[in-house]
Amino acid sequence: MTFPNPPVVDADGLTRHYMLPRESLTAAPQRVFALNRVSLTVRAGRSLGVVGESGCGKSTLARCVMALEPLTAGTLRILGKDPHAMRSRALRRHRQNFQMIFQDPFGSLDPRHTVGRIVSEPLEAAEKRLGPDERRGRVREVLEAVGLRGADMSKYPHEFSGGQRQRIAIARALTTRPALIVADEPVSALDVSVRAQVLNLLRDLQDRYGVTYLLISHDLSAVEYACHQIAVMYMGRIVEYGSTEAILADAAHPYTRALLDAVPRSSPERRRARTTLKGAVPSPTEIVSGCPFAARCPLVEPRCRLQAPEWREVMPGHGAACHLV
Amino acid sequence: MNAFRQPNFLALALRRGNFLLGGVLAGLVALLALVSLAWTPHSAYELDIANKLNPPSPTHWLGTDHFGRDVASMIMVGARNSLLVGFVAVGTGLAVGVFLGLWASARRGWVEELIMRFSDFAFAFPAILSAIMITAILGPGAVNSILAIGIFNVPVFARVTRGSANAIWAREFVLAARAAGKGHARITLEHVLPNILGVVVVQATIFFAIAILAEAALSYLGLGTQPPHPSWGRMLNEAQTFLHLSPHLVLFPGLAVVISVLGFNMLGDGLRDLLDPRLSRTRLAGYPR
Amino acid sequence: MSMLEVDRLTVAFPAPAGPERAVRDVSFELERGETLGIVGESGCGKSMTALALMGLLPEGTDTQGGITLNGRDLRTLDEEAMCRVRGNAIAMVFQEPMTSLNPVRAIGKQVVEPLMLHLGLDRGQAKVETLSLLERVGLVDPRRFYAAYPHQLSGGQRQRAMIAMALSCRPEVLIADEPTTALDVTVQGQILDLIRDAVGESRMSLILISHDLGVIAETVDRVIVMYGGAVVEQGPTWDVFTRLAHPYTRGLFAAMPRLGEGRRRLRTIPGTVPELADLPTGCTFADRCSLARETCHSQPPDMRPVGESHSAACLRLDAATATPSFGSRR
């Protein structure tokens, strides 16, 4: 399988470690290994879903890709340019190419700004040449593109419901016509009926503008619906990567299989005996010598605890980090 | 279960009442001060030894002091003095403190450490003691007492500003602004400041009351406004000697201090309640989700 | 007579724009050992129903209707008597265990207290009982957890501790309000299994409140679907989920992305949930319903039978059930 599209995101070995504040004067500061050598590529017009449980590093990945958090190591290229290596002025201009949607539609909009001002915020920073009329035209255009009315410009966020607010947030991310939108749990705060509206909208926008998504979510079914590729993360690492179809049909990593199995099904015919994983995700402050999943893996072997598994390809474009693959 | 605490309507009305009463009292003091610019019943400076220590009467509503000056007029002029000191002192504290607080919050790191340790240092001294210290060094006088009170206000405002600003910096819409390509200065001006303005205004109103009290205290000690300019604090000081002879000399300036401090305090409290979204939101928020 | 009977429960909150009727005429029964699910979106009244059962609604709430537990009307009890019912006869597990646990007290202390209070055990007995409870909810090495503080526990462990507290006085009814919403998927399954096992072992009744149709489908015998404060459909879980009757239930199913269905387009319900202070006179769902007629907007629907003990509140039930439903998509 070949992709003719050029990469929009090209990440190589992204690593993010940071220190926690000391618990007491004598305690050694703890280091958090939030992101460990994560490499991925997202091509233009495609969408990559990053799934995993809380604390797996997926939100850190989103913020590092957005250059909102510094990297400890690794290189990132967005449209060929590394935002982490840029001076702040150049970075601010480069930001028009990659925008973000946040999880909480109540927290991500400044309650004291009008919708028009919120949506045009990325424009102000990026395209100073744009006149006020053009700017207003652009805001109206994106508001209409997300299913709101141009007249909503002068309203305040509290006048909208959760789903409408998330539309405003999406409109804000679209105003600069970015190549990439990083969406961190864009639908998990929404109700089921509204969630479907927003998921459909995200896909329509991709069809219409060819925007590329990096979608972070804990919800596998939402990711399946919205994404072409899936990366599964565990303890700051990508443990499996492949096309959505391949991962859903033929997951290679035991963790991916457990994740898929844990999703509750709404067909009550079979009350399944879940193969539940034991325990929870270990603390990311520990250094693991072997496979990070070994402690919870139902198929664990002695070598898993000793030796970190290497990346193996199951098929071209579908790989996993597991000894048993 | 906090989300279920319904605002009690009686309490809300009382708080509104608080705000109203505070506004009326503070407004009264401000009105006295304004009127005194154009008119006072008598001169507040003219001595009339013949009529000294008169009790309240139709000619001298609040009586006269030991030099025969009209107490009502002195209180009116004193109000001007108190308000001026309050305004300038709180204004100075506000301007410098809010700037430092915003700066600390935006820059974090050593800038924040430095500013906050400086304000800790200033806090370690009791307010009135440091004001006395400053006037002792600079010499007594209205301007110096303003300066002393103002300097004491700086760390207060810096602290309040930094605290609320840090909470705003942690909000997602600030992250969104950063992702949109805004710099720290613009985020501070466009997102942080408007969102903490309420808190700062409330703080300013309450510290206005404290500044009035501090001015009265300094003048009482002879470190504030100097004669012949009338000041509530010094009126109280001078009245001490005649406490048994003419209690009205203590009563009226004392009452003036109490009314203005109470007024501005209640105004601040009322403002806080009105501006606090958690109390003013009458809708039931439902489950926190 | 059933163990728990809720009869035309109505809850209204005073609000500036007029009373917000969060729960309207909700009736249901719960037998001993039965598991009941209440499903719906935010603001549908499911949590308010639970709080009304617990007698935990805020001051100033207008509550009407009857709540009868073992023949005793809970609505007539004073606060003191209600306190004895809470934790003893009815216990509740909340969504966010971190906010429902006292952060400055050790887990063990928090479980011991209700045991001493409600069951009259002395401290020694209560501690023994607590350790066995902690073990039962899957906190192996209970002595370590006994002394631990809430912040030292993971989300799943905290929820286990909450369940231990809820189970401590062997309640007859356990109410679990979104018990797994704040947890990771792999932990969610563990907690649901735990709740199901605990309920099964001690013949408790369960009311599980969730927005997640999957969680409901996998856990309970009978389900109530709520919308805009009222029950729109109820029946045995299997029945309801295979023969979706109410247009809202059908819409909810169609709108939910399901694993293994690929990138087929989701059907959505247009519009948003109605304002509780300004509910339409007729059917609450009429404004969003594609089948709505004149009458739907003016006349409130009553519950009509769909199958055996399966009913739905819809005037256009015939039209709604005429089309195939499960998984149907545009």
What residues of A are in the B interface, CB distance below 8 Å?
A: 66, 68, 88, 91-93, 95-96, 99-100, 102-104, 107-113, 121-122, 124-126, 169, 172, 189
Given a contact as 3+ CB pairs under 8 Å, which chains touch A?
B, C
**DSSP-derived secondary structure letter, C173:** E
Cα–Cα dist C214/C39, whole Å: 10
**What would be the CATH architecture of the domain defined by B16-32+70-278?**
Orthogonal Bundle (1.10)
Confidence at residue C326, expressed as pLDDT on a 0 to 100 scale: 46
pLDDT band at A194 (very low <50, low <70, confident <90, very high): confident
Q: What is the mean pLDDT of residues A282-298?
A: 83
Give per-residue pLDDT as tens, B222-233.
887 787 788 898
Query: C209 Cβ partners below 8 Å, 6+ apart?
Result: C37, C38, C39, C46, C47, C49, C50, C175, C176, C177, C178
Percentage of chain C beyond pLDDT 90 is 38
Whether a cis peptide bond, with omega within 30° of 0, leads into B228 is yes
Query: In the 8-state DSSP scheme, what is residue A133?
Result: H
According to DSSP, the residues that pair with B122 across neighbouring strands are none
Lowest-pLDDT range, A30-44, B121-135, C47-61, C176-190? B121-135
CB contact under 8 A, C214 and A248: no
Q: What pLDDT is attached to residue A271?
A: 57
B185-213 confidence digits (pLDDT tens)? 999 999 999 999 888 988 898 888 888 88
Q: Contact C15/C58 with Cβ under 8 angstroms?
A: no
- Report how far residue C263's alpha carbon sits from residue C279's, in angstroms, rounded to the nearest whole number: 36
> How high is the mean pLDDT of chain C?
87
Closest chain A residue to C269, measured at CA: A193
Task: Give the pLDDT band of residue A268 (cuts 50, 70, 90).
Answer: low
The pLDDT-based confidence of C230 (bands split at 50, 70, 90) is very high
**Closest-CA residue of chain A to C140:** A279
CA of C58, closest CA in chain B: separation in Å? 6
* Reported confidence tier of residue B234, pLDDT bands at 50, 70, 90: confident
Once rounded to an integer, what is the mean pLDDT over residues B40-60? 80
CA distance B59 to chain C (A): 53
pLDDT above 70 as % of chain A: 94
Partner residue facing A276 (CB), from C186, C238, C266: C186
**pLDDT grade for B287, boundaries at 50, 70 and 90:** very low
The alpha carbon of residue A63 is apart from the nearest alpha carbon of chain C, in Å, by: 21
Please tell me the predicted confidence (pLDDT) of residue B206.
86
Residue among B181, B186, B190 minimizing CB distance to A122:
B181
- Asked if B283's CB is within 8 angstroms of C58's CB, the reply is no
Interface predicted TM-score of the whole assembly (ipTM), two decimals: 0.83
Greatest alpha-carbon pair distance for chain C in Å reads: 67
Q: What is the mean pLDDT of residues C288-303?
A: 90
Most confident of B219-233, C56-70, C266-280: C56-70
User: pLDDT > 90: what percent of chain A?
Assistant: 64
Q: How confident is the model at residue C305 (pLDDT cuts 50, 70, 90)?
A: very high
Residue A3 pLDDT grade (very low, low, confident, very high; cuts 50, 70, 90): low
Q: How far apart are CA B105 and CA C304, in angstroms?
A: 61
Average pLDDT, stretch C148-160? 88
* Mean pLDDT, all residues of chain B: 82
Question: A93 contacts in B (CB within 8 Å)?
Answer: 181
Q: Do A225 and C261 touch (CB under 8 A)?
A: yes
pLDDT at position B109: 84
What's the rounded Cα separation, in Å, for the pair B30 and B24?
Answer: 10
| C304 bridge partner residues | C312
What pLDDT does residue B279 have?
A: 43
Nearest to B287 among C14, C15, C47 (CB): C47
Mean pLDDT over residues C168-194, rounded?
88
**Percentage with pLDDT > 70 across chain B:** 89
Pick C16 or B232 by higher pLDDT.
Answer: B232
Other CB atoms closer than 10 Å to residue C302's CB: what's the count?
10
pLDDT at A267: 66
Question: Please, are residues B80 and B60 in contact by the beta-carbon 8 Å criterion?
Answer: no
Lowest-confidence segment of B19-23, C30-34, C172-176 by average pLDDT: B19-23
Q: What local confidence, expressed as pLDDT, does residue C277 receive? A: 75
DSSP conformation class of C86: B
Q: Do B176 and A104 touch (CB under 8 A)?
A: no
Asked whether residue A1 carries a pLDDT value surpassing 60, the answer given is no
**What pLDDT was estimated at residue C69?**
92
Q: What is the pLDDT of residue A68?
A: 94
Express each pLDDT in A20-56 by its tens digit.
777 676 777 788 889 999 999 999 999 999 999 888 8
Mean pLDDT of chain A: 89
- Of A71-75, B200-204, B241-245, the one with minimum mean pLDDT is B241-245
Enumerate residues 6+ apart whose C-beta is below 8 A from A117: none
pLDDT of B5 strictly over 70? no
pLDDT given for residue C9 in this prediction: 95
pLDDT > 80? residue B280: no
Among candidates C42, C217, C257 on the partner chain, residue whose Cβ is nearest the Cβ of A267: C217
Asked if C268's CB is within 8 angstroms of A193's CB, the reply is: yes
**What does the alpha-carbon distance between residue A274 and residue A254 come to, in Å, rounded to a whole number?**
14
Question: Using CA atoms, how far apart are residues C140 and C134, in angstroms rounded to an integer?
Answer: 7
User: Does pLDDT of A129 surpass 80?
Assistant: no
- Using the predicted structure, report yes or no on whether residue A284 has a pLDDT greater than 80: no
Residue B12 pLDDT > 80:
no
pLDDT tens-place string over residues B128-174: 777 788 888 888 877 888 888 888 888 889 999 999 999 999 999 99
The whole-number pLDDT of residue A273 equals 61
- For every residue of chain B, which 3-state class applies, written as one string? CHHHCCCCHHHHHHHHHHHHHHHHHHHHHHHHHHHHHHCCCCCCCCCCHHHCCCCCCCCCCCCECCCCCEHHHHHHHHHHHHHHHHHHHHHHHHHHHHHHHHHHHHHCHHHHHHHHHHHHHHHCCCHHHHHHHHHHHHCCCHHHHHHHHHHHHHHHHHHHHHHHHHHHHCCHHHHHHHHCCCCHHHHHHHHHHHHHHHHHHHHHHHHHHHHHHHHHHHHHCCCCCCCCCCCHHHHHHHHHHHCCCCCHHHHHHHHHHHHHHHHHHHHHHHHHHHHCHHHHCCCCCCCCC
pLDDT at site B278: 47
Which burial class, exposed, middle or buried, applies to A29 when counting CB atoms under 10 A from its CB (0-12, 13-18, 19+)?
A: exposed
